[in-house]
């Protein structure tokens, strides 16, 4: 460790309140140490909650292993899916996870372009979250196949059959969209990490850590020329990811919008899926950021300002989603088509799942309205609870869209019901376990906040002129 560690440890970790993005008395060194310190914290000093949290998550991971093994042994029949409801939890979870995965890139890219100063201390964190969420999402399209071992047939590769994927199918669009999104998110995340790897390299106590971080840093030395190209590339990435993030959930929504099924076949899906994605994404960032900042005492870096801003975004996107629901229902009535109309009658009260619809309205629309009140936004526990509720609500939204629409479509004779089995639940919980495990490992092993960008913040805070300049 460098001698500087002592001098900076004096900085108090107090939340500076809703107008500041960083606590008082921070300099370049102190932010470096506070964030880097987490990584080099002795193993046993790791916050207890982290151990317990990881333990629980890991149990769920094993549950997933069991569920998947049984799935491969027996077939998708172990799930509750039937004809007509041929898509169940797998697709619901897929859409849910992808949606959660949207916050990261949005924060890093769009807020970067919008020059939002409050993005800085949460972007790294939410990018990682994006990666892990997309990883969880990515599992489902493969798991839900009747013959998962043939999943590679969805890729365009030369083969002895002279056969290729069918690019008119939204599922192939998904393949391209999701893989692109995963790749780009990773690149984005890694690029952001390079300078911090350099910091870790130079901060590392032992030579192994030096070698590891040194390799990852690729010899980054903070040259002005490098910074110049680096910032250009980073800006371009942001510029490209912005339409990408919008496109990805639009494409996911095409899975439904392109189909003819009443309740799926809607032009409003792309915008309202994207809004919903951001909605759930921010909810998940809050769900994770609030405990982590507490455990690691990072209140001075992830301040009330961050939390309030995210709460506001949630409120805003939540309203867009509400508008989406309203339009859907209105169009169903206004279209005059009996199938379309019935789909909503079924969704709201006729069908077996009417209650899921109303719970979803409660979670996604009613409860978040509390965020209008500044007092609620200022209360960390309240925001945390609302974020949780929204996560549930967004999952239910996908359930209502996927399952309820399928239960009753055109020909009444083939209407049916869907009852999730224990294996549906295990797989779902399992992926939550995977997600959390990865998250816990990340916040322990890598700088969870972008250090070099924090230094910029310090710099701007120091000179208000620059803070609002550029």
3-class SS string, 242-275: HHHHHHHHHHHHHHHHCCCCCCCCCCCHHHHHHH
User: Is residue 65 at the binding interface for other proteins, with CB under 8 A as the rule?
Assistant: no
10 binds other proteins (CB under 8 A): no
456 binds other proteins (CB under 8 A): yes
222 binds other proteins (CB under 8 A): yes
Q: Does 48 bind other proteins (CB under 8 A)?
A: no
How many residues lie near other proteins (CB under 8 A)?
A: 123
Q: How far apart are CA 122 and CA 111, in angstroms?
A: 11
Q: Which residue number, 232 or 374, has a Cβ lying nearer to other proteins?
A: 232
- The mark string for 279-318 relative to other proteins (x by CB under 8 A, - otherwise) is ----------------------------------------
Q: DSSP letter for 16, please.
A: -
Give me the 228-267 binding string for other proteins, x by CB under 8 A, dash otherwise.
Answer: xxxxxx--xx--xx-xx--x---x--xx--xxxx------
40 binding other proteins? (CB under 8 A): no
d(CA 339, CA 411): 10
Give the CA angle between residues 214, 216, 217 to the nearest 5°: 65
CB of 201 closer than 8 Å to CB of 214: yes
How far is the first Cα of the chain from the last one, in angstroms, to the nearest whole number?
A: 36
Report the distance separating Cα 287 and Cα 387, nearest Å. Answer: 6
| Minimal distance, residue 397 CB to other proteins, in Å | 18
In the complex, the smallest distance separating the C-beta of residue 375 from other proteins, rounded to whole angstroms, is 37
Q: Examine residue 84 and say whether the peptide bond preceding it is cis (omega within 30 degrees of 0).
A: yes
Taking contact as CB under 8 A, which single stretch among the options 57-65, 69-77, 323-331, 362-370 is the one that binds other proteins?
69-77
Cα Rg of the chain (Å, integer): 23
Using CB under 8 A as the binding rule, the residues of this chain from 343 to 372 that contact other proteins are 351-352
25 touches other proteins (CB under 8 A): no
Mind giving me the DSSP string for 32-81? HHHHHHHHHS-GGGS-HHHHHHHHHHHHHHHHHHHHHHHHHHH-GGGSS-
Full 3-state SS string of 312-376: HHHHHHHHHHHHHHHHHHHHHHHHCCHHHHHHHHHHHHHCCCHHHHHHHHHHHHHHHHHHHCHHH
Residue numbers 177-196 binding other proteins by CB under 8 A: 177, 179-180, 183-184, 187-188, 190-191, 195
Structure-block tokens of residue 174: 């998904």
221 interacts with other proteins by CB under 8 A: yes
Nearer of residues 138 and 318 to other proteins, judged by Cβ? 138
To other proteins, the closest distance from the beta carbon of 286 in angstroms equals 27
**Between residues 216 and 268, which has the closer beta carbon with respect to other proteins?**
216
Q: Find the binder of other proteins among 23, 104, 214, 318 (CB under 8 A).
A: 214
Q: CA torsion sign, 452 to 457 to 459 to 460?
A: positive
Q: Choose one: 51-59, 214-222, 323-331, 358-366; the region binding other proteins (CB under 8 A).
A: 214-222
Cα distance between residue 153 and residue 168, in whole Å: 15
- The token pair that represents 378 in the structure block: 């200022």
What CA–CA distance (Å, rounded) separates 433 from 55? 10
Binding positions for other proteins, 389-428, rule CB under 8 A = 406, 408-417, 419, 421-423
Q: Restricting to residues 74-113, which ones interact with other proteins according to CB under 8 A? A: 74-78, 80-87
User: Under rule CB under 8 A, which residues in 140-179 are in contact with other proteins?
Assistant: 144-147, 150-151, 153-154, 156, 159-173, 175-177, 179
Give the residue with the Cβ less far from other proteins, 58 or 415: 415
Q: What HEC string does 51-62 produce?
A: HHHHHHHHHHHH
Should residue 6 be labelled a site residue for other proteins when binding is judged by CB under 8 A?
no
Q: How far is the CB of 175 from other proteins (least distance, A)?
A: 7
């Amino acid at each position: 460790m460098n001698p500087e560690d002592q001098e900076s440890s004096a900085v108090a970790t107090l939340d500076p309140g809703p107008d500041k993005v960083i606590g008082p008395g921070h300099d370049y060194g102190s932010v470096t140490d506070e964030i880097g310190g987490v990584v080099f914290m002795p193993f046993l000093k790791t916050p207890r909650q982290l151990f317990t949290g990881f333990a629980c998550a890991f149990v769920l991971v094993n549950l997933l292993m069991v569920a998947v093994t049984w799935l491969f042994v027996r077939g998708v029949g172990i799930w509750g899916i039937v004809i007509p409801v041929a898509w169940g939890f797998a697709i619901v979870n897929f859409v849910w996870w992808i949606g959660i995965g949207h916050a990261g890139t949005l924060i890093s890219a769009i807020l970067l372009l919008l020059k939002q100063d409050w993005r800085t201390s949460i972007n790294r964190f939410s990018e990682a979250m994006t990666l892990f969420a997309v990883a969880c999402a990515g599992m489902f399209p493969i798991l839900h196949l009747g013959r998962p071992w043939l999943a590679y047939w969805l890729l365009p590769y030369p083969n002895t059959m002279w056969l290729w994927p069918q690019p008119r199918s939204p599922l192939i669009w998904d393949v391209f969209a999701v893989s692109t999104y995963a790749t780009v998110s990773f690149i984005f995340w890694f690029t952001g990490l390079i300078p911090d790897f350099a910091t870790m390299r130079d901060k590392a106590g032992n030579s192994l850590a030096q070698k590891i971080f040194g390799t990852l840093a690729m010899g980054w030395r903070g040259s002005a020329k490098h910074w110049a190209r680096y910032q250009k590339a980073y800006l371009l990435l942001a510029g490209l990811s912005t339409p990408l993030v919008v496109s990805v959930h639009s494409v996911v929504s095409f899975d439904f919008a392109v189909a003819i099924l009443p309740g799926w076949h809607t032009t409003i899906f792309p915008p309202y899926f994207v809004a919903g994605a951001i909605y759930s994404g921010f909810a998940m960032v809050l769900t994770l950021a609030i405990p982590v900042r507490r455990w690691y005492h990072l209140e001075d870096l992830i301040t009330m300002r961050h939390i309030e801003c995210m709460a506001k975004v949630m409120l805003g996107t939540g309203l867009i989603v509400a508008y989406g629901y309203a339009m859907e229902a209105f169009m169903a009535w206004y279209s005059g088509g009996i199938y379309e109309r019935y789909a909503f009658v079924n969704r709201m009260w006729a069908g077996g799942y009417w209650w899921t619809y109303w719970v979803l309205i409660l979670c996604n629309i009613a409860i978040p309205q509390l965020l209008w009140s500044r007092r609620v936004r200022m209360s960390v526990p309240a925001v945390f609870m609302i974020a949780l509720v929204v996560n549930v609500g967004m999952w239910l939204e996908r359930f209502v869209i996927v399952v309820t629409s399928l239960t009753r479509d055109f020909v009444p004779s083939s209407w049916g019901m869907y009852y999730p089995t224990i294996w549906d639940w295990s797989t779902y919980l399992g992926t939550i376990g995977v997600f959390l495990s990865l998250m816990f490992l990340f916040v322990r092993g890598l700088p969870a906040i972008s250090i070099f960008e924090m230094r910029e913040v310090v710099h701007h805070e120091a000179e208000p002129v620059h803070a609002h300049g550029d």
